[in-house]
Amino acid sequence: PLVYLVPTPAGSLALIVTPDTIHDLWLDAINETQLIDLLNQTWFAAYRQSQNNRQGWYDAIDSATRQLWEPLMAPLMAHLQQHQIQQATLIPTGYLSLLPLHAAWTEDPNTPTQRRYALDDICIAYAPNAQSLTAAQAISDRVQADSILAIDNPRNDLPNSEREVQAAVSTFPHPTVLRHHQATVDQVRSQLPAANIAHFSCHGTANLNDPLASGLLMSDGLLTLKDIFALNLADHAQGNHGLRLAILSACETGMIGTENADEAISLPTGLLQAGVAAVIASLWAVDDRSTMLLLSKFYDLWRKGNLPPDQSLRQAQIWLRDSTAKEIAAYGGFFTPTPDDRPYAHPFHWAAFSYTGI
């Protein structure tokens, strides 16, 4: 089903839309004012200081996602499970679109991390609106996931990028890889319409005041959302069929501003409108190594394990979160002095990534 999440001054509302019915679920315990306070006083305040105070940002992620459980995600998860629903696409509106709802959590002594998260109960995808999903479904139906364009570290400042890109392209017969200085704005613009999958291992930036100027940093400048719109990726008249999936392994590609949260265009939303069926992107600046591990596992599950891409991301997140250092070292081929730790259990490492689209 589609689940519209609507915060109002008096409380919040979930509208659960299936092919047959619409259920309404009132969530009176969380209103717009509380959300604004949570975002301004906890979330964005800590994020702005995260370069200097990493622990403060870790604590803010923990606190905010914990506060989303009882009033919002617990009743929603219970309702969906009661109706035997295992997969849902959330359409969060307003301020709810700024938070990783799949990482809302409660204590649970029976799990490896002593917590249960929303994504443990349900496979959660996101969408900006229902109309975008209709277009995304049409692209997904006609595009085979058999060719990939990979952008590898245009600024030469991501030490784990090469391994990540290798994991991405290894299961495709004829990958196109633009490495380092080759990844210019013009080169990427010329190659993108011919690709079925695009993997960007590079930095990204969200422009909160001018969303169309948000983009991905190439070797010679910014590939903006405006540039990508101009390519008409899904324009049949030009022979373009659209992209099945774009993976933005870049910093804060999902961040949008509070000023215009209702109509704001995040990069994933913009890419869906530009002719991409689905986008994997991160809400905040993520750790280079944990991203490499997460996305390598994603490709294994999707391309070798034949899971759908949204399920592959979810399972890769659970794997990264729950694995011991020994298990991760065996997978990644490196040494660990602390084999029993769970080094990536904190949601900072895995919860930034979400799946938008089909």
pLDDT digits (tens, 9 = 90+) for 43-88: 988 998 998 999 999 999 999 999 999 999 999 999 999 999 999 9
Of 198-212, 249-263, 268-282, minimum mean pLDDT range: 249-263
Q: Band of the pLDDT at 204, cuts 50, 70, 90?
A: confident
Residues 154 and 86 in one domain: no
Which tokens hold the place of 5?
Answer: 């999440």
Q: Average pLDDT in the 263-290 region?
A: 88
Closest CA to 191 of 203, 205, 174: 174
Q: What percent of the chain has pLDDT over 70?
A: 96
Amino acid 210: pLDDT: 84
Asked if 112 and 342 touch (Cβ cutoff 8 Å), the reply is yes
Same domain, 149 and 177: yes
Reported as a single tens digit per residue, the pLDDT across 90-143 is 999 988 988 999 999 999 999 999 999 999 999 999 999 999 999 999 999 999
For residue range 225-253, list pLDDT tens digits in order: 999 999 999 998 999 999 999 999 976 76
Confidence of residue 260 (pLDDT cuts 50, 70, 90): low
Residues 178-205, mean pLDDT to the nearest whole number: 96
Same domain, 101 and 187: no
Looking at residue 257, what is its pLDDT? 53
Average pLDDT, the chain: 93
Give the mean pLDDT of 286-296.
92
- Report the pLDDT value the prediction gives residue 94, as an integer from 0 to 100: 87
Contact 103, 347 (CB under 8 A): yes
Residue 119, domain member (yes or no) = yes
Output 159 or 211, whichever has higher pLDDT.
159
Taking each helix axis as running N to C, give the angle between helix 288-299 and helix 161-169, from 0 to 180 degrees, rounded to the nearest 10: 10
Q: What is the pTM of this model?
A: 0.96
Q: Is the dihedral of CA 69, 71, 73, 75 positive or negative?
A: positive
Q: For residue 133, is it within any domain?
A: no
Q: Are 171 and 99 within one domain? A: no
* Average pLDDT for 145-167: 95
- 153 and 105, same domain (yes or no): no
Of 91, 126, 161, the position where a domain reaches its end is 126
pLDDT tens digits for 293-341? Answer: 999 999 999 999 999 999 999 999 999 999 999 999 999 888 889 999 9
**Whole-angstrom Cα distance, residue 21 to residue 16?**
8
Provide the pLDDT for residue 290. 93
Same domain flag for 189 and 242: yes
What is the pLDDT, as a whole number, of residue 162?
95
Task: Say whether both 108 and 148 belong to one domain.
Answer: no
Q: Where a domain ends, among 126, 157, 173? A: 126
On whether both 23 and 158 belong to a single domain, the answer is no
Give a yes or no: residue 46 inside a domain. yes
The answer to the question of residue 135 being in a domain is: no
- Number of domain units in the chain: 2
pLDDT of residue 254: 61
Residue 266: per-residue pLDDT: 81
pLDDT of residue 258: 58
Considering 69, 101, 126, which residue would you say is the last residue of a domain? 126
The per-residue pLDDT for 267 is 87
Q: What is the CATH number of the domain that holds 268?
A: 3.40.50.1460
Whole-angstrom distance, CA of residue 183 vs CA of residue 151: 6
**What confidence score (pLDDT) does residue 179 get?**
98
Mean pLDDT, to the nearest integer, of 18-28?
96
- Higher-scoring residue by pLDDT: 269, 191: 191
Question: Is residue 268 assigned to a domain?
Answer: yes
Assigned domain for 136 exists: no
- Same domain for 103 and 248, yes or no, is no
Shared domain check, 93 and 25: yes
Answer whether residue 131 is part of any domain: no
CATH of the domain at 69: 3.30.420
Q: For position 255, what pLDDT does the model report?
A: 62
- Between the CA of residue 273 and those of 21, 139, 230, what are the distances in Å? 27, 12, 11
pLDDT tier for residue 256 given thresholds of 50, 70 and 90: low
Q: 120 and 189 share a domain?
A: no
Please give the average per-residue pLDDT across 207-233, as a whole number: 92
Whether residue 244 is found in the same domain as residue 338 = yes
Is residue 137 in a domain? Answer: no
Domain that holds residue 234: 142-357
The dihedral formed by the CA atoms of 294, 296, 302 and 306, expressed in degrees to the nearest 10: -120
Phi, psi of 209 (to 5 degrees): -85, -30
* Cα distance between residue 89 and residue 128, in whole Å: 10
Q: What is the 3-state secondary structure (H, E, C) of the chain?
A: CEEEEEEECCEEEEEEECCCCEEEEEECCCCHHHHHHHHHHHHHHHHHCCCCCHHHHHHHHHHHHHHCHHHHHHHHHHHHHHCCCCEEEEEECHHHHHCCHHHCEEECCCCCCCEEEHHHHCEEEECCCHHHHHHHHHHHHHCCCCCEEEEECCCCCCCCHHHHHHHHHCCCCCCEEEEHHHCCHHHHHHHHHHCCEEEEECCEECCCCCHHHCEEEECCEEEEHHHHHCCCCCCHHHCCCCECEEEECCCCCCCCCCCCCCCCCCHHHHHHHCCECEEEEECCCCCHHHHHHHHHHHHHHHHHCCCCHHHHHHHHHHHHHHCCHHHHHHHHCCCCCCCCCCCCCCHHHHCCEEEEEC
